């Protein structure tokens, strides 16, 4: 039995410890917001936070997250400045990569509340988008950052 | 699938590309009769596309697949505009497979493609909305004992004389009893919704993880399968030892199907691990002999011989023979994978007398019929439910229905509900690529430096040959999708000859976002740049001179040039390139700006795009689709290539088939030309101009003319060293 926390709740799963966290989230826990895109950590569609850091859940064995805190797209509140900015900037097209994009962006703003374009390039270049929403993602991150800053730098 | 006789993509292409881009249909379309089945659940269901509840909720049924292009918003906008409902009460629902939802002009199939959704549904959905509005007004008039012309509908409320008001919800039940208007009248006056950047109705679900894609489909008791496929096209299983795989915990079964060997397990991971343990000997057949290098040599030999005539104005070969100076060039473009972010997958629940399929399909009728044939059922016994599509780009409109057929076979073999998932490598190596192309072009100039003759030979596989569409889409051996964008060029060239060779081989090919235009635009717009250079003329002005009779093409060209600072100085090592192309009834010009470093690395900095797509529904969707087409086309221009050696596809994942990432994304500016012309498509037309715009910018930056895509650093370096 492997025990860890997902979106604030303790979860216990009985799977082989080499099973990637992504498939445990999707198949055992019914959290299908994290997506399968490459299985090699190349596209970022499966991005979740593990103990606060963005990680590729498709290459993270669930055995490695024992006792850790996992945050998925389902755990990001609807009123999060980034989710609001994503809607305001009308970022999504097919939408498949967007949960992973948002998870990477959330991690970026937690680390750097006022990211530069170069910060965005380096934090977001692990997340592929085949529909080409990069320009809007960049705008949404800047907008969310400005909104958070204007509210006194409140942690998103 | 069998009903292909009326499928008229070719006719549509002819109309849109050759006749300057008309509305797909000019006749009044039936929008489905009163929907008795649906009416049971909704108070007012006047046709196949609309349900109004007694609470005033408006559900619009969308017969197009949502794959990023925003149809779950743009199509409801068309109906809601005429219905005069409250937009805030509108929701969408994916249509089931039924005749009422067949394509308005491609024939008796439900399909999303050809950048045709808005164009083909504009009239039908407008009329469906208008008819429902008239019935709601008639219901109110009856209630108030007044004539309908004293009533009007606005924002979900019917207003009558003396301030009387009834909401659509209050009227729904009575409206359901009103006669269906035979000839509903469309609204006159200003539009309330059309032309406004309304927010997409599907965005909230797409950012909170609840949007259901095919890969997310789950049913209690369902199993998951992955398939071991032959290493070469056309290979078959010779022998199989599945003992180790079957012994793995979680693996439930191993079954051999036509396409390979399926490992069926409790979940994806045990299935994948089980697959690694299979011991398969493959019979490779002839497939092991295919290589793209050899194919290129064969194509070059073919290009030296006359092909089938696709266009002949004047006598291009004769004029070229006498020309003192001529330009000859060969342009090559590789196979390309669609590489949708969501790998192909399909859920099937097969019973003795029914079959439920849930998947992201662009080709519902064909996929349903193919599934029925494999399952041994009648088409009407198969239910296909369309999920969200994690990208389509044509791949999910597969003429071979490959991802559906394999899943039905697995379901049949195991007798349990199953979801087949492809890994990225499975997805990328299983074929159905944009064909590899070779274009051989020769031209000579008149005394003003303008093209006098243009002789063009195109060599590449037909995506239509061998499919049920061949009968109607291939004419005298010419697959129009192979030559579109070249044979119908708007440029004034007195002697123009376009010929086609369509060699066959075992590599499956398919339409890939913008289809034939994805290669012809690169060739036309690059070679035209070469001619301008040869004539010592500015490439922008050169195009203007040749487009005098095409005002819409000219207008986008001029807009992109002006907004894109054409002619203004750039830093050393930078270049600006321009390209213009018409496709799917829309006109697009792009100016690309790039910088080049001394190691041959290019960085596209800025793309300015002008688009005339006729009358518009949602300007923000149009902008998004242009941004999308540019990024998609840029990935192909800079990186995209599928190659085969010894029959094996050499690429597998995003390391070997790279896509543009955030750091390489240029600034994109989109300018929409105001227009009252019939609507054009927007999903695909943004793609074709970007590759030639970038190649032309590279030439402007350093004088190197690359005639082979992708524009890799190695090729650029080689060209720089040579030049």
- 3-class SS letters over B599-633: CCCEEEEEEEEEEECCCCCCHHHHHHHHHHHHHHH
Domain made up of A81-150: CATH architecture: Orthogonal Bundle (1.10)
> What are the beta bridge partners of residue B594?
B575, B604
User: Looking at the predicted structure, is the pLDDT value of residue B97 above 60?
Assistant: yes
Determine the pLDDT at residue B32. Answer: 59
Nearest of B360, B381, B361, B385 to residue B372 by alpha carbon: B381
User: Looking at the predicted structure, is the pLDDT value of residue B107 above 90?
Assistant: no
Q: How far is A133 from chain B (nearest CA, A)?
A: 7
Residues 382-401, chain B, touching A (beta carbon < 8 A): 388-393
Residues 232-261, chain B, touching A (beta carbon < 8 A): 249-250
Q: How far is B635 from chain A (nearest CA, A)?
A: 9
Chain A residue whose CA is closest to B653? A38
Cβ contacts of residue B485 below 8 Å, gap of 6+? B17, B516, B517, B519, B520, B521, B524, B581, B582, B583, B688
What's the maximum distance between 2 C-alpha atoms anywhere in chain B?
A: 86
B318 touches chain A (CB under 8 A): no
- The Cα B569–Cα B563 span in angstroms is 14
> In chain A, where does the domain assigned CATH 3.10.20.30 lie?
2-75
- CB-side neighbour CA atoms (13 Å) of B184: 30
- The Cα A102–Cα B391 span in angstroms is 18
CB contact under 8 A, B343 and A83: no
CB contact under 8 A, A73 and B208: yes
CB contact under 8 A, A93 and B205: no
User: Looking at the predicted structure, is the pLDDT value of residue B260 above 70?
Assistant: yes
Chain B residue whose CA is closest to A133? B628
Chain A residue whose CA is closest to B683? A131
> In chain A, where does the domain assigned CATH 1.10.150.120 lie?
81-150
CB contact under 8 A, B424 and A40: yes
Q: Are A28 and A40 in contact (CB under 8 A)?
A: no
Neighbours of B676 (CB within 10 A): 6
Token duo for residue A60 = 């993270």
- Dihedral angle, C-alpha A128, A129, A132, A133, nearest 10 °: -110
Q: Are B202 and B211 in contact (CB under 8 A)?
A: yes
Q: How far is B668 from chain A (nearest CA, A)?
A: 8
Token duo for residue B323 = 């020309």
DSSP symbols for B369-387: HHHHHHHT--GGGEEEEE-
pLDDT digits (tens, 9 = 90+) for B163-194: 999 999 999 999 999 999 999 999 998 999 99
Determine the pLDDT at residue B199. Answer: 98
Token duo for residue B626 = 């242009």
User: Looking at the predicted structure, is the pLDDT value of residue B268 above 50?
Assistant: yes
Q: Are B643 and B332 in contact (CB under 8 A)?
A: no
Q: Are B195 and A79 in contact (CB under 8 A)?
A: no
CB contact under 8 A, B627 and A16: no
Q: How far is A8 from chain B (nearest CA, A)?
A: 17
| Nearest neighbour of B665 by CB, restricted to A34, A98, A135 | A135
ipTM, two decimals, is 0.97
CATH superfamily of the A2-75 domain: Beta-grasp domain (3.10.20.30)
Confidence of residue B35 (pLDDT cuts 50, 70, 90): low
Q: How far apart are the first and last CA of chain B?
A: 53
- The Cα A102–Cα A83 span in angstroms is 8
Q: Tell me phi and psi for residue B522, to 5 degrees.
A: -60, -45
Residue B392 with chain A: CB contacts under 8 Å: 94
B630 touches chain A (CB under 8 A): yes
pLDDT digits (tens, 9 = 90+) for B659-696: 999 999 999 999 999 999 999 999 999 999 999 999 99
Residue A45 with chain B: CB contacts under 8 Å: 341
Determine the pLDDT at residue B30. Answer: 58
| Nearest neighbour of B209 by CB, restricted to A18, A32, A36 | A32
Residues 94-113, chain A, touching B (beta carbon < 8 A): 94-99, 102
Q: Is the N-terminal amide bond of B710 cis, ω within 30° of 0?
A: yes
A81 touches chain B (CB under 8 A): no
Q: How many CB pairs under 8 A join A and B?
A: 184
Determine the pLDDT at residue B10. Answer: 36
B224 touches chain A (CB under 8 A): yes
Q: Are B637 and B691 in contact (CB under 8 A)?
A: yes
Token duo for residue B205 = 């679900």
> What are the beta bridge partners of residue B562?
none
pLDDT digits (tens, 9 = 90+) for A142-151: 999 998 776 6
How much is the average pLDDT of B109-122? 96
- The Cα B189–Cα B130 span in angstroms is 14
Determine the pLDDT at residue B150. Answer: 97
A90 touches chain B (CB under 8 A): yes
Chain B residue whose CA is closest to A29? B218
Q: Are A117 and A96 in contact (CB under 8 A)?
A: no
B423 touches chain A (CB under 8 A): yes
User: Looking at the predicted structure, is the pLDDT value of residue B20 above 50?
Assistant: no
User: Looking at the predicted structure, is the pLDDT value of residue B24 above 60?
Assistant: no
Residue A33 with chain B: CB contacts under 8 Å: 208-210
B606 touches chain A (CB under 8 A): no
Determine the pLDDT at residue B31. Answer: 63
Q: How far is B266 from chain A (nearest CA, A)?
A: 9
How much is the average pLDDT of B228-243? 97
pLDDT digits (tens, 9 = 90+) for B53-74: 999 999 999 999 999 999 999 9
How much is the average pLDDT of A15-41? 98
B203 touches chain A (CB under 8 A): yes
Token duo for residue B334 = 């590789």
Determine the pLDDT at residue B151. Answer: 98
How much is the average pLDDT of B445-452? 97
Token duo for residue B355 = 């079959």
Determine the pLDDT at residue B472. Answer: 86
- The Cα A42–Cα B339 span in angstroms is 13
Query: Rounded to an integer, what is the distance from CA B433 to the centroid of its chain?
Result: 13
User: Looking at the predicted structure, is the pLDDT value of residue B294 above 60?
Assistant: yes
B269 touches chain A (CB under 8 A): yes
Nearest of B526, B679, B700 to residue B77 by alpha carbon: B679
- The Cα B66–Cα A96 span in angstroms is 12
Q: What percent of chain B has pLDDT over 70?
A: 94
Chain B residue whose CA is closest to A88? B199
Residue B206 with chain A: CB contacts under 8 Å: 92, 95, 98
Q: B171 by DSSP, 3-state: which?
A: helix
Cβ contacts of residue B217 below 8 Å, gap of 6+? B347, B358, B359, B387, B419
Token duo for residue A110 = 């937690």
CB contact under 8 A, A32 and B67: no
Q: How far is A130 from chain B (nearest CA, A)?
A: 6
> What are the beta bridge partners of residue B593?
B576, B606
User: Looking at the predicted structure, is the pLDDT value of residue A24 above 70?
Assistant: yes
Cβ contacts of residue B462 below 8 Å, gap of 6+? B435, B474, B479, B481, B482, B502, B509
B343 touches chain A (CB under 8 A): yes
Q: How far is A149 from chain B (nearest CA, A)?
A: 22
User: Looking at the predicted structure, is the pLDDT value of residue B657 above 70?
Assistant: yes
Tokens 């992109």 locate to: B560
User: Looking at the predicted structure, is the pLDDT value of residue B15 above 60?
Assistant: no
Token duo for residue B557 = 């060209």
Token duo for residue A156 = 């998103």
CB contact under 8 A, A98 and B343: no
Domains parsed from chain B with CATH numbers:
23-195 (3.30.365.10), 214-285+344-421 (3.30.365.10), 292-335+433-722 (3.30.365.10)
Determine the pLDDT at residue B42. Answer: 78
DSSP-assigned letter for residue B199: P
Q: B227 by DSSP, 3-state: which?
A: strand
Confidence of residue B33 (pLDDT cuts 50, 70, 90): low
- The Cα A149–Cα A86 span in angstroms is 17
> What are the beta bridge partners of residue A2?
A13
Determine the pLDDT at residue B722. Answer: 84
- The Cα B427–Cα B653 span in angstroms is 9
CB contact under 8 A, B424 and A39: yes
Chain A residue whose CA is closest to B630? A132
User: Looking at the predicted structure, is the pLDDT value of residue B430 above 80?
Assistant: yes
Instruction: Find the helix or strand (DSSP H, E) in which B237 lies.
Output: strand B236-241
Determine the pLDDT at residue B78. Answer: 98
| Nearest neighbour of A132 by CB, restricted to B66, B208, B631 | B631
Q: Best interface-test mutation with B: which of A2, A15, A90 has the largest number of B CBs within 10 A?
A: A90
Confidence of residue A126 (pLDDT cuts 50, 70, 90): very high
Determine the pLDDT at residue B19. Answer: 27
How much is the average pLDDT of B639-655? 98
- The Cα B563–Cα B540 span in angstroms is 13
Q: What percent of chain B has pLDDT over 90?
A: 92
Cβ contacts of residue B157 below 8 Å, gap of 6+? B165, B166, B167, B168
DSSP-assigned letter for residue B519: H
B409 touches chain A (CB under 8 A): no
Chain B residue whose CA is closest to A42? B654
Q: How far is B652 from chain A (nearest CA, A)?
A: 10
User: Looking at the predicted structure, is the pLDDT value of residue B219 above 80?
Assistant: yes
pLDDT digits (tens, 9 = 90+) for B477-530: 999 999 999 999 999 999 999 999 999 999 999 999 999 999 999 999 999 999
Residues 110-139, chain A, touching B (beta carbon < 8 A): 120-122, 124-138
Q: How many distinct helices (H) and strands (E) make up chain B?
A: 21, 29
Confidence of residue B38 (pLDDT cuts 50, 70, 90): low
User: Looking at the predicted structure, is the pLDDT value of residue B342 above 90?
Assistant: yes
CB contact under 8 A, B208 and A128: no
pLDDT digits (tens, 9 = 90+) for B362-420: 999 999 999 999 999 999 999 999 999 999 999 999 999 999 999 999 999 999 999 99
Tokens 């093409």 locate to: B553
| Nearest neighbour of B341 by CB, restricted to A15, A26, A130 | A130
């Amino acid at each position: 039995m492997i025990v860890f926390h997902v979106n604030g709740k303790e979860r216990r799963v009985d799977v082989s410890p080499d099973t990637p966290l992504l498939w445990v989230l999707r198949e055992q826990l019914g959290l299908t917001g994290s997506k399968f895109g490459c299985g090699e950590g190349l596209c970022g569609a499966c991005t979740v936070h593990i103990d606060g850091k963005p990680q590729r859940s498709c290459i993270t064995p669930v055995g490695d997250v024992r006792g850790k805190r996992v945050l998925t797209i389902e755990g990001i509140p609807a009123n999060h400045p980034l989710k609001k900015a994503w809607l305001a900037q009308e970022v999504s097209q097919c939408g498949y990569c967007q949960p992973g994009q948002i998870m990477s962006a959330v991690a970026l703003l937690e680390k750097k509340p006022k990211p530069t374009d170069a910060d965005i390039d380096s934090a977001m270049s692990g997340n592929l988008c085949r529909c080409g929403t990069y320009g809007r993602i960049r705008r949404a991150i800047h907008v969310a950052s400005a909104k958070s800053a204007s509210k006194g730098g409140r942690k998103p | 699938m069998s009903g292909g006789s009326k499928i008229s993509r070719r006719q549509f292409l002819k109309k849109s590309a050759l006749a300057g881009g008309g509305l797909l249909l000019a006749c009044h379309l039936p929008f489905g009769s009163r929907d008795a089945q649906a009416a049971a659940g909704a108070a007012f269901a006047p046709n196949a596309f609309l349900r109004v509840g007694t609470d005033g909720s408006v559900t619009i049924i969308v017969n197009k697949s949502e794959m990023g292009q925003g149809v779950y918003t743009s199509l409801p906008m068309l109906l809601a505009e005429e219905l005069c409902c409250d937009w805030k009460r509108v929701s969408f629902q994916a249509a089931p497979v039924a005749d009422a939802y067949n394509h308005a002009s491609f024939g008796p199939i439900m399909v999303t493609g050809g950048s045709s959704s808005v164009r083909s549904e504009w009239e039908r959905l407008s009329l469906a909305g208008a008819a429902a509005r008239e019935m709601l007004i008639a219901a109110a008039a009856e209630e108030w004992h007044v004539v309908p012309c004293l009533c009007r509908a606005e924002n979900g409320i019917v207003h009558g004389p003396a301030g009387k008001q009834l909401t659509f919800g209050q009227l729904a039940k009575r409206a359901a009893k009103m006669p269906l208007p035979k000839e509903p009248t469309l609204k006159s006056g200003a539009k309330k919704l059309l032309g406004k950047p309304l927010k997409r109705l599907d965005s909230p679900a797409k950012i909170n993880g609840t949007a259901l894609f095919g890969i997310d489909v789950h049913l209690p008791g369902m199993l998951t399968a992955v398939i071991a496929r032959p290493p070469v096209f056309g290979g078959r299983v010779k022998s199989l030892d599945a003992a180790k795989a079957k012994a793995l915990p979680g693996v439930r079964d191993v079954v051999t199907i036509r396409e390979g060997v399926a490992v069926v397990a409790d979940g994806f991971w045990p299935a994948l691990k089980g697959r690694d343990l299979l011991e398969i000997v493959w019979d490779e057949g002839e497939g092991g002999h295919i290589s793209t290098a050899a194919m290129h040599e064969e194509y070059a030999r073919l290009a030296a011989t006359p092909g089938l005539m696709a266009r002949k104005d004047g006598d291009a070969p004769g004029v070229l023979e006498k020309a003192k100076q001529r330009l000859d060039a060969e342009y090559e473009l590789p196979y390309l994978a669609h590489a949708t972010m969501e790998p192909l997958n399909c859920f099937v629940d097969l019973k003795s007398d029914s079959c439920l399929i849930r998947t992201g399909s662009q080709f519902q009728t064909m996929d349903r019929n193919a599934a029925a044939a494999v399952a041994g059922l009648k088409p009407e016994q198969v239910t296909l439910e369309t999920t969200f599509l994690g990208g389509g780009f044509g791949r999910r409109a597969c003429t071979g229905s490959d991802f559906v057929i394999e899943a039905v076979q697995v379901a049949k073999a195991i007798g349990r509900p199953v979801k087949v998932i492809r890994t990225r490598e499975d997805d990328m190596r299983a074929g159905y690529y944009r064909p590899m192309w070779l274009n051989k072009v020769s031209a000579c100039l008149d005394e003003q430096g303008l093209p006098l003759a243009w002789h063009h030979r195109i060599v590449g596989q037909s995506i239509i040959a061998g499919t049920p569409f061949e009968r109607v889409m291939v004419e005298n051996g010419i697959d129009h999708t192979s030559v579109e964008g070249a044979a119908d060029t708007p440029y004034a060239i007195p002697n123009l000859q376009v010929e086609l060779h369509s060699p066959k081989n075992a590599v499956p090919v398919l339409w890939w976002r913008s289809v034939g235009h994805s290669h012809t635009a690169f060739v036309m717009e690059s070679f035209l740049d070469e001619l301008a250079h040869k004539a010592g003329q500015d490439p922008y002005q050169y195009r203007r001179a040749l487009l005098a009779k095409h005002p819409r093409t000219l207008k986008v060209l001029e807009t992109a040039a002006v907004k894109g600072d054409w002619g203004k100085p750039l830093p050393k090592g930078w270049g600006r390139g321009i390209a213009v192309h018409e496709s799917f009834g829309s006109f697009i010009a792009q100016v690309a700006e790039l910088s080049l470093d001394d190691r041959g690395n290019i960085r596209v900095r800025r793309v300015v795009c002008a688009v005339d797509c006729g009358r518009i529904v949602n300007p923000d969707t149009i902008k998004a689709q242009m941004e999308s087409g540019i990024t998609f086309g840029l990935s192909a221009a800079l990186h995209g290539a599928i190659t085969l050696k010894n029959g094996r596809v050499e690429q597998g994942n995003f390391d070997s088939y790279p896509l543009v990432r955030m750091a390489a994304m240029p600034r994109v500016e989109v300018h929409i030309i105001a227009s009252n012309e019939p609507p054009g498509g927007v999903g695909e037309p943004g793609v074709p101009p970007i590759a030639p715009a970038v190649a032309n910018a590279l030439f402007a930056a350093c004088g190197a003319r690359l005639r082979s895509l992708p524009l890799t650093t190695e090729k650029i370096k080689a060209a720089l060293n040579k030049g």
